[in-house]
Structure 1
Amino acid sequence: MTDFHPDRHRYGDAAAPVRIVEYGDFQCPGCKMLAPVLKELVDESGGRICLVFRHFPVFEVHPFALTAALAAEASGSRFWEMHEQLFAHQDNLDDESLAECARRAGVVGAVTGLEAQQYKAGVSADYTLGIEEGVRATPGLFINGSRYEGTFALKALREATADR
């Protein structure tokens, strides 16, 4: 894989006037709690909000975060289905469990081992961009380029995106 566009994982209309960028880690409990909130926010926006997911595996704390990120990348066009499965099974992300998540997400092909290593540059590029943007922990959110410092409750995020 050679195309590592930082906005490659979009949920919602790419032309939406409000763009939320999330730097996330599949082992982060906060990211797991935030995922359905962001999905609902985009789904109810009528095309006004687009979510971009970027990998920020905090591997010092979460030993399976990097392999989970690689598995998500290896899922290709099934990224969002795999995203959902990884958070649903966050407590068990060893290679066997990642393969089962991929099966449930409808992914054809391997998402672990050597096959997944080709995606390391994309995960690394996301992580580096996050560091450059000041991300130090997950979840890290930006709304139209500005760091979001509020709570991750749906109501607060609705308010933060309403006037943009």
Structure 2
Amino acid sequence: MSTLKPEVNSNDHIQGDDTASVTIVEFGDYQCPYCGNAYPILKEIEETFGHQIKFVFRHFPLANAHQYAVPAALAAEAAGLQGKFWEMHDALFENQYRLDGDLFDELAETIGLDLERFRQDSVSDVLREKVEHDFDSGVRSGVNGTPSFYVNGAKFDGAATDLYQMLKESTT
């Protein structure tokens, strides 16, 4: 069975309660249509299970298939430096249908980022390394496509809908 390597740590983007009994890690790609389809289901999981779950997103951009996957990951990381990773994360998925090179600045403005700083951060080597580190973590953890989910450190075989079903059964 594949396990998450490394475990969730301070380098991760974490949403939810520290005392949560369930930690879900998604390896995702902002341009992947399957990740786009999973996004509203994951939002519903967060709303339904609230403080029972902690949600972590790690980048797994499939750069060969998706030309905007890496720039989108960098945009999310750049927003994160201004404390708005999750706002950019959500905006990227909600606007996935029109993902292109012009979208990032528009979303940065929409969520209230300092645009100059955002543009500089988007091209920083430090953020590129963070995205590559996430990707390597996915490779080491046995990710073979996006989205891939890990529940409490173990690979979950199934889609977001299966994950929702499993959570409903295990938390009742």
The answer to whether 1:64 aligns with 2:68 is: yes
Q: What is the CA–CA distance in structure 2 between the aligned matches of 1:124 and 1:6, rounded to whole Å?
A: 16
What is the match of residue 170 of structure 2? 163
Judged with a 3 Å threshold, the aligned counterparts in structure 2 of structure 1 residues 88 and 71 are, in CA distance, closer, same or farther, namely same
Work out the number of aligned pairs and report it: 157
For 1:51 and 1:36, the matched residues in 2 are separated by 14
TM-fit CA distance, 1:45: 1.1
- Structure-2 change in CA distance of 1:158 and 1:96 (3 Å): closer
Give CA-to-partner distance per residue, 1:14-73, whole Å, 9 cap, x none: 321100000000001111111121122122214111110000000000001000000000
The one-letter amino acid paired with 1:95 is G
Match of 2:58 among 54, 57, 66: 54
C-alpha displacement of 1:115: 2.8
CA distance in 1, matches of 2:31, 2:60: 10
Q: Which moved more, 1:28-37 or 1:93-102?
A: 93-102
- Structure 1 match to 2:109: 103
Identity of aligned residues (%): 38
Listed as ranges, the matches of 1:5-154 within 5 Å are 5=9, 8-76=12-80, 77-109=83-115, 110-112=117-119, 114-118=120-124, 119-153=127-161
**What amino acid sits opposite 2:38 in the alignment?**
L
- The whole-number CA distance in structure 2 between the counterparts of 1:133 and 1:39 is 24
Give the TM-score taking structure 2 as reference length: 0.83
Task: State the TM-score, normalizing by the size of structure 1.
Answer: 0.86
Residues 132 and 91 (structure 1), Cα distance of their counterparts in 2 relative to 1, 3 Å cut:
same
